[in-house]
Amino acid sequence: MMSTSLAVTPEGGSLFSMKRSSPIPRLLAFSLLLLALLYLGLGLGFHLKWQSALAACRQSRAARGEFVEPKVFAEPLALAFDVTFWPVYAAANLYHDGTPFASLCTH
């Protein structure tokens, strides 16, 4: 029969004893979590504002009797795209239309 025992260091402590770790990894993980939450929060705000601008544009175009394009993506998919890629959308909209919440009415 095999004996299972923990290895003991010369100081008398176990090799597997729990030691207090450095606060740097915990601080780094917390910082990354805060940064991710900030990114997603800004993305959610961007999505809500942009969808509001698009809805207002659709209403004004429909009131003038113009063609109103249908929504392309289902709402959960549009939310996922907007929250994830909002910096790209905002930069492209700023470059082309001068506003981060561009729609057909801002051309």
The string of pLDDT tens digits covering residues 27-63 is 999 999 999 999 999 999 999 999 999 899 999 999 9
Q: For residues 34 and 75, is the Cβ–Cβ distance under 8 A?
A: no
73: DSSP letter = S
Please give the share of the chain, as a percent, with pLDDT higher than 90: 53
pLDDT over threshold 80, residue 15: no
- Residue for token digits 């929250």? 83
What pLDDT is stored for residue 105 in this prediction? Answer: 84
Provide the mean pLDDT of the chain: 84
Neighbours of 66 (CB within 10 A): 11
**This prediction's pTM:** 0.70
Kindly list the domain boundaries of the chain, sorted by start residue: 25-106
